[in-house]
């Protein structure tokens, strides 16, 4: 696992957007897995800026979703489908046909989950999966004690996650209890995992993810099992890392051509 400590969220966004741009230059139709929430927004902004400036052509990129709320009416502005279309797909100049995600409004939700896992495999697998991290260590919406081998399925959000996400809704009552999420096993199949964490509120979860034992109690610790996982953290989110100086020195000495 590579840990990169950046001064702030904007630089983290720039760094990851450049890694995505480099991937698209090598593989123009790469399948990019995106996360929602506040953390990745600087990445999407930086990548859209690169596209607008002509620094990368994203016209053949494909975008796929990590998770989705269950039970929000179609077109709800906070459904993750709406968020990804608004924050990622449209700013990159892509259409909805470049996008795939699980159907949180399906009548048979488990069939929709299975269909999504199949669709990801049929699309050739995810080339680069962006991840955020919950204050309780979740990735996607794999809450603590999710199986490390799990596939896309329905999960129940913890009260803490519902409270963390209430800022996107008018009240806590409106935050759905149930979600569809790519499983940890599904996420681990992506070729490159890139987790961005910013702010002091994530420091404990980051330290447990990077330096703690691999444990279902901290779902993000499953990144330790992946051969190409990159964790990008700002100074605040890095504040509880024991090996912070080692991570800084390692990255400072890394040849630029290697990228992430």
Nearest by Cα to 181 from 147, 231, 225, 209:
147
Strand order in the sheet with 67-69: 67-69, 178-181, 153-156
Instruction: State the nearest-atom distance from the C-beta of 135 to ligand F6R, in Å.
Output: 8
As measured in angstroms, the least distance from the Cβ of 250 to ligand F6R is 25
Q: Which is nearer to ligand F6R, 102 or 134 (CB)?
A: 134
Strand order in 31-34's β-sheet?
2-6, 229-234, 192-197, 128-131, 31-34, 62-65, 99-100
**56 vs 219, which CB is nearer to ligand F6R?**
219
Identified catalytic residue from 87, 136, 164, 234: 136
In degrees, rounded to 5, the angle at the alpha carbon of residue 214 between the alpha carbons of residues 198 and 188 is: 75
Candidates 14, 18, 67, 68; catalytic one: 67
Q: Which is nearer to ligand F6R, 5 or 140 (CB)?
A: 140
Residue 138 is a catalytic residue: yes
- Cα separation, 14 vs 18, in Å, equals 6
Surface-to-core class of residue 174, CB atoms within 10 Å of its CB (0-12 exposed, 13-18 middle, 19+ buried): middle
Nearer to ligand F6R, 91 or 243 (CB): 91
> Taking CB positions, which residue lies at the least distance from ligand F6R?
132
18, 68, 103, 143: the catalytic one is 143
Instruction: Please report how close the Cβ of residue 230 comes to ligand F6R at its closest, in angstroms.
Output: 15
Helix (H) or strand (E) segment spanning residue 164: helix 159-165
Q: Could you list the residues that contact ligand F6R (CB under 6 A)?
A: 35-39, 66-67, 80, 132-134, 138-140
Q: Of the two residues 17 and 56, which places its CB atom closer to ligand F6R in the complex? A: 17
Write down the least CB distance from residue 258 to ligand F6R, Å.
Answer: 26
Q: Is 143 a catalytic residue?
A: yes
Report d(CA 211, CA 186) in Å as an integer. Answer: 23
Among residues 18, 76, 87, 138, which one is catalytic? 138
Using an 8 Å Cβ cutoff, are 209 and 218 in contact?
yes
Minimum CB separation of residue 39 from ligand F6R in Å reads 3
Place of tokens 């962006």: 130
Query: Which residues are identified as catalytic?
Result: 67, 136, 138, 143
């Amino acid at each position: 696992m590579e840990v990169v400590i950046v001064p702030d969220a904007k630089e983290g966004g720039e760094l990851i957007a450049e890694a995505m741009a480099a991937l698209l230059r090598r593989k123009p139709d790469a399948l990019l897995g995106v996360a929602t929430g506040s953390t990745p927004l600087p990445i999407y902004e930086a990548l859209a800026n690169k596209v607008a400036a002509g620094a990368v052509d994203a016209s053949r990129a494909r975008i796929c979703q990590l998770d989705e709320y269950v039970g929000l009416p179609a077109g709800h502005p906070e459904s993750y489908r709406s968020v990804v279309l608004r924050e990622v797909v449209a700013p990159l100049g892509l259409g909805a046909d470049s996008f795939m995600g699980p159907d949180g409004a399906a009548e048979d939700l488990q069939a929709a989950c299975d269909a999504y896992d199949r669709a990801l495999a049929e699309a050739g697998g995810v080339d680069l999966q962006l991840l955020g991290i919950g204050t309780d260590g979740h990735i996607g919406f794999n809450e603590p004690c999710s199986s490390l081998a799990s596939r896309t399925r329905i999960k129940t959000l913890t009260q803490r996650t519902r409270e963390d996400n209430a800022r996107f809704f008018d009240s806590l009552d409106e935050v759905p209890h149930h979600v569809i999420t790519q499983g940890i096993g599904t996420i681990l199949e992506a070729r490159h995992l890139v987790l961005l964490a910013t702010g002091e509120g994530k420091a404990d979860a980051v330290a447990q993810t990077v330096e703690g034992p691999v444990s279902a109690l901290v779902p993000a610790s499953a990144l330790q099992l992946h051969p190409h996982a990159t964790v990008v953290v700002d100074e605040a989110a890095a504040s509880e890392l024991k090996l912070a100086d080692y991570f800084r020195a390692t990255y400072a000495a890394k040849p630029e051509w290697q990228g992430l």
